[in-house]
Structures are given as structure tokens and as C-alpha cells.
Structure 1
Amino acid sequence: MSAWFAEDTPSFDYGGFVVGDAPRTATLFQKSAGVVAGVPIVNEIFRQCDCTVTWHVKEGELIDPKASGGKVAAATVSGPTRQLLLGERVALNMLSRCSGIATASRKMLTLVREAGYTGTLAGTRKTTPGFRLVEKYGMLVGGIDQHRMDLSSMIMLKDNHIWARGSITDAVKAARAVGGFSLKIEVEVDSEAGADEAIEAGADIVMLDNYDGEGLKVAARSLRERWKGKKSFLLECSGGLTPSNVKEYVNNDIDIISTSAVHQGCPHVDFSMKIDH
């Protein structure tokens, strides 16, 4: 968080000098519909600016400002004027992005549940460098799984790992040697033959990558039937899920659906802050 302030004020806050340190209050408005996400982070941003925040909405609450004339007073912020404005843009940028991800996550979760899916919906590691914690937190508030937080959280062997090592079996063997019993191993495959090799080698999770809806259903059902009672594993699918194809895409032979659609390119929720006068 200190890096955010350093980026925004690398030397001197000229506007802050203009307004001075007189105590004031400001209202933080939500101006577009969405799930509120990022409350603890906003609190900490303004705490570091010697300001206090009083919230009028709750974390995870879906707010639609249309019913309130186009904007909702989400919070009141109090403190020295210069400090209020120092934290304003840092807080608003974070809150807008985090809330946008929570909103997209909630929407996608609702769609897959309505389509009858009972498994886990997860985000991905395709996050913004330096901003991952906020984006993963938005997924959590939106009700979905954050997937692995980083390269140290789980051993995921993707196509480049397999090609570099030479085979799925050798890659899983090496992964087990370095990760021991405490880390799960996931292997990305693009065929049933690859999935069979990964399961036989001892992978905990097999990711069926970039299948279309019908192909995914056929492959997942085939693997379940072939390995029933022989090996324990989870099936994940990734790539291709959109709000428009949910009904054709989801099926309950898949334990986890992961998608970057909930955090890459999703609309932000619009917030602003105005000094009370």
C-alpha cells in the first residue's frame, strides 16, 4: 500500500498544500450498480492518511443507485483536508476495481448455479502484477474460489512444464519429489490420453483445458467411468466459460470451473468522493 502512495505522490503534493490541514468530512458515493468490495482496504488507506471512515453500506452488499436518484452515500470520511484528498484517488481506484471483480464473480456464480452446477467456481492467476491481493479478495467477496494465490500455493504443471520436462509422468514425479506430501499437484491436459497419464502418475487435480461444452461433457464422463474405484482425483476445466454459454458449458462431472472472465476486462463499479460543503 505504501507503494501506491509513493506512485501517486513521488515528491510533493502541491494540491494538498493549497487546501491545508483543516478538519473536514467527505462523502464517498457509489454511482453504478455493483457488489461493494474492499472495505478493509479503504479503511487502511485512510488510516494511513490519519482519516477515519464510517460506512453506510456493508461489504458484499449489492447496491443499485438507480433507486436512490443515481448515487448512494456509501461512506463518510473524516480528517485533515489535505489527507482526505491524498487518500481519495488511491482508495477509489482500488474500491472500483475490487468491487467490479466481486460483481462479475457474483454474477457468474449465480449463472452457473441457475444452470444446475454444484461444484466450485474459481478465478485464475491471470491477475495484475502488484494488485493480485486486491483482485483475489474481490473474487472472495463475490463468493467464488480464489484458486491458487501464487506459484508457491500449489504445483500446477501446464503445457510448457510438460514440454520442458519431456512427459507428464516425469513432470509429476519431479513435482512430487520437490513438493512432498503437503502440496497438491495439478496437471493441464488437452486430451483424455493426457488425463489418463496424469491420473496414473498420481496427479491430485486434472485440468481439461480449452474444451468446448460438448467435448468437455464427453471427456469428463469417460474419465469418471474409466477410473471409478481406482484413483481419487479432481477434475477442473478452464478456458471458454462466458455468461452467454453457461448452460452448454457446465456439468457436474467437473469439480472445479476456473475462469478469468470474472477478473479480466470486467467493468469497474463507479465511486466518487466529494468534500462536504
Structure 2
Amino acid sequence: MDSAPDLAMPVAPLPTIMLEPLVRAALLEDLGRAGDLTTDAIVPVDAQARTRLVARQEGVLAGLDLARLAFRLMDASLDFRPVLADGARLQAGSEIAVITGPARAMLTAERTALNFLCHLSGVATGTASIADAIRSYGAKVTCTRKTLPGLRFVQKYAVRVGGGSNHRHGLDDAVLIKDNHVAVAGGVRQAVQRARAGVGHMVKIELEVDTLEQLDEALEIGVDVVLLDNMDLPTLRAAVSRVNGRAVTEASGRITPDTAPEVAATGVDLIAVGWLTHSARVLDIGLDS
């Protein structure tokens, strides 16, 4: 990743009004019923400190605003000065931000700030590993609804920061007809027809297909997107050829940075990767004095 260029398109930051309840809840969970017993017992109330957020490995930065809020909610007088911005490519030793002010608040907020920053930077880094691998193709990497409860909107933000795009945000912003829906409805045609009759004209309809026969039926009925699930490469290439631009094509099924290029080479429009959010490895970032 160290040779890749910085991401060209900056991602719009999330409004503070969306982030604050999440950070506030995380701080309250940590403070419990008695506050920070360790820091309050050891650190004088008037002690001041200067610390730095520093990357300990390479990756992509995401979640800086949540880290800033964690410190500022503990004490508004803390001075949080970013050196880098979300989307920056980090190397081991990269200085991310400098924090100065009351030591007690700084130490109490440290873990909450790092939990958000390390996790979301891990999501962005994982996304970038796929985005970099398929950069020479026309496909985009996208996330799924396999997110950690309560963190979906910030995880999906981190995916965008890492160079990916978002699938639907929830059950209420698009239709995705999966195999169980088809089974209950009695077939592909019945499922698609009921979905089309039950939603507004602005809502897109995606259908999951496992075989070329299902794909042919989907194309005959007409859907906006086809999810080509767990197809091998020859079948995937055949599916893209059959679609021939009549719908957006999305591939899924245990795709990694190593396998993503060959999947992208089939001509699919999107590559869906669930582990970006449900199993992202944290990026090691520390608070150093």
C-alpha cells in the first residue's frame, strides 16, 4: 500500500450532530458509575499534558472527527489539532494529531477515541486494499449490511474514505430479493412482480441469482441490479456477457485483495465485500507523549 497515491476524491465529513450521540454513549459506557478511578486518583486536577496520535503501521486514516469529539466532550478546553485528514495514507510513525490541555480529560478519553479511530481506519484500510487491487478495472468495491450494531453509518463512511462505495444503508432504501424471498414468493417472477408493485418508482430493485438460468429469468422480467452470488469465474464472465448492460452487475462471495482483480476482470460493475465491516482488522494507532 505504501506505493499507492493518496485518494483523490475527498469524502464529505459526517455532521457533528450525527456523531456526538455515538461518542457520548461510548464515553458514558466507559465512565460507568464512578468515572475514571485510575486517572482521578493518580493525576492532579490541574495537570497539563501534550500528546500525539501516531500511526504504528501503514494504512488509511478514518474516524478523526470521532476521536476529536471524544476528547472535547470530556473537556472542551482540550486543544485537538489535526495534522492529517481522513483519507490520508499513513506510514508507521505518521503524526495524525496533537492534543494539549488538561491531562485528566485526555487520559480518560484516550481509549474511546482510539477505539473509534483504530476500528474505522481498519475499515478504510481494508477497503483501500480492494480498491487499489482493482484500480485498473472498471469495477468498484462496495460494502454490505454486515455491519456492527450501532456503527453502520460510521463504518459505511469509512468505506467511502477507503475508496469504496456503499450498498444500501438499511432495509428501507432499496429492495434486495434474496433466495429466501424467492422461495417464500414461489419463484423469481412472483418475487420481482410483488416488489415492483409494493414500492415507489424511486426505489431500485436488486435480485440475487445463483445460476445463469435464474439470471435469464431476471433479465426477462427486468431488474435494476443483479447480485451474482458465489459464481466461479467462467460463470461470472458468462453472466456479465448475458447482462450486456441491461442491469448493474454485482459479484459477491468471499472476495479478497488477492482474488478481487480476477473478479473485476470479468467486467462486473461492483464487488461486494462483507468483511470490510464485520471483520475489519483494527489499524494500530497510539497516543504518545
The reply to whether TM is greater than 0.5 is: yes
Confirm or deny: 8 A CA contact 1:214 1:249 kept in the other structure: no
Q: Does residue 1:63 correspond to 2:86, yes or no?
A: no
- The answer for unaligned runs of 5 or more in structure 2 is 1-21
2:201 alignment counterpart:
181
RMSD over aligned Cα, in angstroms? 1.9
- The answer for unaligned runs of 5 or more in structure 1 is 66-70
In 2, the alpha carbon distance for the partners of 1:257 and 1:212 equals 14
The Cα offsets for residues 145-172 of structure 1, whole Å up to 9 and x where unpaired, read as 0211111121111111111222222222
Partner of 1:29: helix, strand, or coil?
A: strand
1:121 alignment counterpart:
141
1:74 alignment counterpart:
96
The Cα offsets for residues 20-66 of structure 1, whole Å up to 9 and x where unpaired, read as 5424332222111111111122222222122331011222111112x
In 1, the alpha carbon distance for the partners of 2:199 and 2:68 equals 38
Aligned equivalent of 2:249, options 227, 230, 235: 235
Amino acid of the residue matched to residue 60 of structure 2? V
2:61 alignment counterpart:
36
Runs of 4+ in structure 1 deviating by more than 4 angstroms, as ranges, are none
Q: How many residues align?
A: 262
In 1, the alpha carbon distance for the partners of 2:198 and 2:70 equals 39
1:68 alignment counterpart:
none
Identical-pair percentage: 32
**TM-score scaled by structure 1?**
0.87
Confirm or deny: 8 A CA contact 2:54 2:96 kept in the other structure: yes
Moved more, 45-54 or 94-103: 45-54
After TM superposition, list the pairs within 5 Å mapping 1:42-53 onto structure 2.
42-49=67-74, 50=76, 51-53=78-80
After TM superposition, list the pairs within 5 Å mapping 1:103-142 onto structure 2.
103-113=125-135, 116-142=136-162
In 2, the alpha carbon distance for the partners of 1:72 and 1:119 equals 31
In 1, the alpha carbon distance for the partners of 2:64 and 2:198 equals 39
Partner of 1:76: helix, strand, or coil?
A: strand
The Cα offsets for residues 71-114 of structure 1, whole Å up to 9 and x where unpaired, read as 3332111332222122110110111111111111112111112x
Measured after TM superposition, the shift of residue 201 of structure 1 is 2.7
Confirm or deny: 8 A CA contact 2:138 2:264 kept in the other structure: no
The Cα offsets for residues 195-254 of structure 1, whole Å up to 9 and x where unpaired, read as 222233331111110011222112221332xxx7xxx42111111322222343223532
